[in-house]
Structure 1
Amino acid sequence: MHVCLCVLLNLAEEISIEKKMVNRKIPHLLIQLLDRTQEDLLLVVLTFLKKLSVFEENKDQIAVPETLSNLVRLAQHQNQRIALLSLRLLFNLSFDERVRAALVESGIVKLLVDLLKNPPFRHIVLRLLYHFSMDDRCKSLMAYHRDGMIMLLQLVVHFPEPRVGKDLVALMVNLASNARAAEVIVQSGLFPPIMLRVMKHRDPLLCKVIRNVASHSGVLEQMCEVLDTEGVRMAKWMNEFVRMAVCSVDHPDFLVEVLGTLANVTLEEVAWGELCESGLLELLTRLLVPSFSEDDVVLECVLLIGNLASSRDSVQHVAESRLPTMMQDLLVEKREDEEIVVQLLFAFQCLVSHDEVREFVLQETELAPAIMRFARARNPLVLEYTTALLQIVAVASDNQTTEEGVPDWVAQIKGFRFEQHNPEWCRYVNRELSGGTGMSPGAYGGYYDDQGSPRDDEEEFAFHWSARHGY
């Protein structure tokens, strides 16, 4: 049988002959031999199945529950070659989400964690664990194996090359997105060395691990406490991140991770004013120059401005800079990107919520006409933030006067509020003014008109806005 399978395996190098074998049910015949004990036979069977498993049609025949159980058992075989071949075959099968779910039930995660300690198995084990880490349930399961988490962190800290291997760091990125696993990472005692490694080698994927850890509010507090302890003395790590961002403008893959990490730090005790004076404000102003940065960098900048605008320590810095005007221009430039629009509206809402800067911001920008445009948005989140922001601006407009009298935007927002509360009456008046011809009220500037061409409306908006700024 061993000799016959060796001959068939060699013949299967020709893909047309392999297809003939598959038509004659060779996968089904092979999986029946996985319970044999003769090692040479098992080696050729596993090699053959591994070769066949790269095709989805064969994978569906191989990945039956009994076969998966046999493969998990063979992965613990005393013969290292048999164990490795079993793991590689499992790796080919684990691209299928249903197969991964079935393997989790077999207890394979605990087996893989134990095999991490054995260097010959480490590479394939990391790849398998990465596949399992794409499932939220598996992330939580792996977090409970603390020894395995410590082993992974030690591999990261002591990795011999400047940038951590992609299999290892990708696994850590996925694990850090789970709150329980992120907590284990922070409490492991190895988090400060990881932070130092990021500062030294500027590894973007390793920085993403820190960014994901900081995205969990409860873990974020522990992370800052760990970095602020007497033995670590990294209380100024955010200042160092600002310096790294300033030096990484030409490396957007690393820049977006650094900015994302800073944007995730939403603690009240952060000295944002000090960071603004350290160059953060100049960096954001540079990155938000129209068409200078990619959209992912722009989004992180806007999120970071939201943090600055929420803090009394830094809101004055933001208001007196060019950022409010640049954010207003971004509303026009990125109006098709709903995620950026939502974050811009939120940042403006935080900014005008402060009494000491609200009047200054409203006078220096033309915020009201810009945000009124989004009051007819179909996205409920955009509409929610637009309504809240308009409410704040409307209250501020009641007593708004300048040396030249009442600004134009005050009249605009009062007209908008009237139309908002009397839409039916406005539509009736518009029909009467148009001679009862049924002309769309949108021709007279109705913000809540659902008729007409959206594209024409966008063009009209862009025209008026550019005329206002003299572009």
Structure 2
Amino acid sequence: MEPWLEEAGALGGVDTGKLAGLALRLLHNLSFDEAGRTEMASAGAIPQALALLRSPAHRTGALGLLYHLSLERSHRPLFLAAPAAATAALPSLLLAAGDLRTAPELAALAVNLSMDNQLAADMAGGGALAALLGKALAARDPLALRITRNLAERCATADAVVAFAPAADALADLLTDPTTDADVRVEALGLLAHAALPPLRWRPILARSGLPAWLVAALVPGGAADDIALEAVMAGGALCTTDTAPLLAQAGLGTALVALLAERRADDECALRHAAM
């Protein structure tokens, strides 16, 4: 039991479990205000709310409050410094959850914290990145893919290779499957841009899956939505190595990129992504 709850319960003569729920509800409502969030973070609300994640009765309320407190980048290091570090609980909660679209507070908190380099490294450790990636691909869950993508962007190369090596085939199949939802495909492409690391042998996967032809089709002007086309540019660049370049060129990737650049020459974001390749 947290000290502030014990003290409040003693003063008010009320059940501390009920008091915790009421306090969380009030704090959550107050945390819609930025100044209120700053005051709560300074007063130590983050470690106390983290401790309440252990209680199923208070978990949803604690997650909602923690999500709001994670909105400011300046607050995120406080999660790492807390005695009950968020990173110790989040991976297990994410893996235990079903579709993360039914757990919006948990998903939103994980997305925010996974954008911090140190928190992401902790969240990805101990095999958690590989487990989360497997869950995301199996469930075709766009929120789980977004979290995994954030972790991959900030994860050490060696850890990422260990996580992605067994999932590379499934990732390619997900992208080329015509039934894959657009929001899932966007996140999977972003993930691929960070999973296509040199130690992974992509050539046999590309040859088997037909992914080069799919990328070319996505890059044809009008062939895919803008967000998918932009992510496809990045994924194509990440996949292009000395080993895979002949396959990608044979599929027409270079020609498609030139045509897309000509068609989108006024689009700064598209041009910059081409340049980044």
Query: TM-score with structure 1 length normalisation?
Result: 0.53
Tell me whether 1:212 sits opposite 2:150 in the alignment: yes
Structure 1: gaps spanning 5 or more residues: 1-33, 40-76, 228-233, 348-471
Assess, with a 3 A threshold, how the Cα gap between structure 1 residues 164 and 220 changes in structure 2: closer, same or farther: farther
Identify which of 107, 112, 123 aligns with 2:49: 112
Q: Could you say what secondary structure the match of 2:54 adopts? A: coil
What letter matches 2:30 in structure 1? L
1:149 aligned onto 2:80: no
How far 1:156 moved relative to its partner? 1.5
Structure 1 position 193, deviation (Å): 2.7
The structure 2 residue matched to 1:100, chosen from 30, 37, 42, is: 37
Q: Is the 8 A contact 1:173 1:208 kept in 2?
A: yes
Preserved contact between residue 242 and residue 275 of structure 1 (Cα < 8 Å): yes
Q: Does 1:328 align with 2:265?
A: no
Change (3 A) 1:303 1:249: farther
Shift of residue 78, structure 1, vs aligned partner: 4.6
How far apart are the structure 2 equivalents of 1:308 and 1:188? 27
Shift of 1:164: 5.3
Q: In 2, Cα distance between the equivalents of 1:184 and 1:164? A: 25
| 1:268 corresponds to 2:198 | yes
- Indicate whether 1:253 and 2:183 are aligned: yes
**TM-superposed deviation, 1:250:** 4.6
The 3-state SS of whatever aligns with 1:177 is: coil
What is the correspondence of 1:30-45 to structure 2 with a 5 Å cutoff? Answer: 37-38=11-12
Cα distance, 1:293 vs. partner?
1.3
1:94-131 per-residue CA deviation (whole Å, 9 max, x = no partner) reads 12222211111111111001111111111111011111
Aligned partners of 1:182 and 1:219 also within 8 Å: no
Q: Distance in 1 between matches of 2:100 and 2:51?
A: 27
Matches within 5 A, 1:420-431: none
Structure 2 equivalent of residue 168 of structure 1 = 106
Unmatched 5+ stretches in structure 2: 1-7
Give the greater-gyration-radius structure (CA): 1
SS of the equivalent of 2:222 reads coil
What count of residue pairs does the alignment treat as equivalent? 268
**What are the residue-to-residue correspondences of 1:331-410 with 2, within 5 Å?**
331-347=261-277
1:368 corresponding residue in structure 2 = none
Distance 1:316 1:294, change over 3 A: same
Between the aligned partners of 1:38 and 1:243, the Cα distance in structure 2 is 59
Q: Identity over aligned residues, as a percent? A: 28
| Aligned AA (2:118) | R
In the TM superposition, what is the alpha-carbon distance from 1:302 to its structure 2 partner? Answer: 0.4
Q: Which residue of 1 aligns with 2:67?
A: 130
State the distance in 1 between where 2:179 and 2:273 align: 22
1:89 aligns with 2:19: no
Of 139, 143, 147, which aligns to 2:76? 139
Question: Does the 8 Å contact 1:133/1:175 carry over to 2?
Answer: yes
Does the 8 Å contact 1:249/1:255 carry over to 2? no
Normalised by the size of structure 2, how large is the TM-score? 0.87
Higher relative contact order structure (alpha carbons within 8 Å, sequence separation ≥ 6): 2
- Shift of the 308–153 alpha-carbon distance from structure 1 to 2, 3 Å rule, reads closer
Distance, in Å, in 1 between the alignment partners of 2:135 and 2:214 is: 23
Task: Tell me, in whole angstroms, the C-alpha distance in 1 between the residues paired with 2:81 and 2:127.
Answer: 17
How far is 1:148 from its partner? Answer: 3.4
Aligned structure 1 segments of 4 or more residues deviating by more than 6 angstroms: none
1:200 to 138, 141, 153: 138
- The 1:324–1:191 alpha-carbon spacing in structure 2 relative to 1, beyond 3 Å, is closer
- Cα root mean square deviation, aligned: 2.5
Distance 1:248 1:164 in 2: 25
**Cα deviation code 1:247-267 (max 9, x no counterpart):** 256511000111100102353
Distance 1:83 1:290, change over 3 A: same
The change in CA–CA distance for 1:158 and 1:248 in structure 2 (over 3 A counts) is farther
Q: Conserved in 1, the CA contact under 8 Å of 2:160 and 2:195?
A: no
- The alpha-carbon deviation at position 161 of structure 1 amounts to 5.2
Which secondary structure state, in structure 2, belongs to the residue aligned with residue 290 of structure 1?
coil
**Superimposed CA distance per residue, residues 388-422 of structure 1 (whole angstroms, 9 cap, x where no aligned partner):** xxxxxxxxxxxxxxxxxxxxxxxxxxxxxxxxxxx
Q: Distance in 1 between matches of 2:156 and 2:34?
A: 29
Q: Are 2:225 and 1:294 aligned?
A: yes
Instruction: Give the conservation status (yes or no) of the 8 Å contact 2:30–2:36.
Output: yes
The 2-side partners of 1:287 and 1:236 are apart by 25
- Asked if the contact 2:234–2:273 (Cα under 8 Å) also holds between the matched residues in 1, the reply is yes
Q: Is this contact kept in 1: 2:193–2:239, CA < 8 A?
A: no
Q: 1:79 aligns with which of 8, 16, 33?
A: 16
Which residue matches 2:5? Answer: none
Could you give the per-residue CA deviations for residues 324-351 of structure 1, whole angstroms, max 9, x where no partner exists? 222122113222321111112333xxxx
Letter aligned with residue 283 of structure 1: W
In 1, are the aligned partners of 2:161 and 2:197 still within 8 Å (CA)? no
Aligned letter for 1:173? Answer: V
Q: Deviations over 1:345-367 (max 9, x none)?
A: 333xxxxxxxxxxxxxxxxxxxx
- What CA distance in whole angstroms lies between the structure 1 residues aligned with 2:276 and 2:132? 33
Letter in structure 2 aligned against 1:294:
A
